[in-house]
Structure 1
């Protein structure tokens, strides 16, 4: 069972790597970056992902099994939360979306509501500070806040 699971995952990941590589190659930037542009990072990651996935296809593990139903459901919920984060990031803004998703992830892995909300708030504020003050990257405030201001 492990051989089929490893090979299936490797093939799916190679497909994902190809998709990311095509998107990176088609990325059009209105101004020039020196020495590397914004294509380099996703393209490098897609090449690395494809290489490691090929190893998984050609030399799968020897033991193991599919995750239990409860773990598989939890993993699907994590994937759903990350997709929701990507979709709501610009609409709600970085801090509210980060707070909600981090709190939901904390709850999913057993934290109480209080600890989950505190963790979400600290992660949202701390990462916003690191991005804006430390790296000089402007993060979206969200359409709803822009309408109020």
Structure 2
């Protein structure tokens, strides 16, 4: 990878990672990791928090959850409820769903319905790499 390639990757990752609210020292757990995730974004989150992201076996409380979720993965509402049980007060969930053009894309109304049921509010969609879209989910005030 050339220096220019590294700088381009850095600029496309740092913006979304920062915009979603990842900060140094946060504990972040990840669910739904598979071979189709955006590795640059995953690595960017680790760079931002200054440590590896915890895998789904972690059993402590966390500051944030990365939830990679695709159509066909089950029930989004159930997965959001499970994710909420791990998040410290004031924490957040970043829901990552496939973007346009993928067969496993999640419809916006499905995300909205799951958020309404779980008492979460979603931010606007932020593109993450060429195939994923991220939304920051927080509890309603």
TM-score grouping bracket, smaller chain normalisation: under 0.3
Q: Identify, as 1 or 2, the structure richer in helix.
A: 1
The normalised TM-score by structure 2 is: 0.25
TM-score by length of 1: 0.24
Larger radius of gyration, structure 1 or 2?
A: 1
